[in-house]
């Protein structure tokens, strides 16, 4: 794999590692053969660090200026849930 570097090799060729990451190719750094770190472009990093809204948080966001019809019909009789 061209985007995997042993730590010592990554140190020696750091400019090349960075250039590859800038081109959108994550660079994997290994220590004693184990993947240890990843170098990514700032754009990829920022995408990964965007705040995530959980489903429970999204459901708690009030529906502002929404004119919702919360009435329903049972056996032809229209009911309103707001009372």
pLDDT tens for residues 23-33?
999 999 999 99
Q: Residue 35 pairs with which residues in a beta bridge?
A: 30
Q: Which CATH class is domain 1-49?
A: alpha beta
- How many C-beta neighbours within 10 Å does residue 30 have? 15
The domain locations on the chain are: 1-49
| Residue 77, CB-side half-sphere exposure with 13 Å CA sphere | 4
Is residue 45 a contact partner of residue 37, using CB atoms and an 8 Å limit?
no
Model pLDDT for residues 44-75, shown as the tens digit of each residue = 999 998 887 788 877 777 765 556 666 776 67
| SS3 state of residue 28 | strand
């Amino acid at each position: 794999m061209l985007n995997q570097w042993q730590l010592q090799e990554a140190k020696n060729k750091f400019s090349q590692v960075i250039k590859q990451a800038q081109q959108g190719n994550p660079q994997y750094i290994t220590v004693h053969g184990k993947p240890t770190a990843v170098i990514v472009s700032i754009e990829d990093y920022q995408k990964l660090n965007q705040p995530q809204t959980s489903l429970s948080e999204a459901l708690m966001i009030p529906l502002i200026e929404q004119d919702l019809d919360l009435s329903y019909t049972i056996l032809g009789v229209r009911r309103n849930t707001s009372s």
